[in-house]
Amino acid sequence: MIQKVIDFAVYSSIKIGAALQVSIIQTPQDYYESLQYTISPNIVGAANNLLVSPNAKNLIMLDKKFSYIKDCGDYLEVGALTPSGKLFSYAKKHNLAGFEILSGLPGSIGGIIKMNAGLKEYEIKSTLLGILSVQKSPTLDFIKADSLQLSYRSSAINQLIFAGIFKKEQGFNPNLVKLFKEMRENQPKDPSFGSCFKNPPNDFAGRLIESVGLKGVPFGTNKTLMFSPKHANFLINLGKSSFDEALELILLAKDYVSKKHNITLQNEVQILQ
Point out the residues that are catalytic: 153, 195, 268
* Cβ 166 vs Cβ 113: under 8 Å: no
Distances in Å between the Cα of 131 and the Cα atoms of 49, 65, 109, 115, 125 are 20, 17, 11, 13, 11
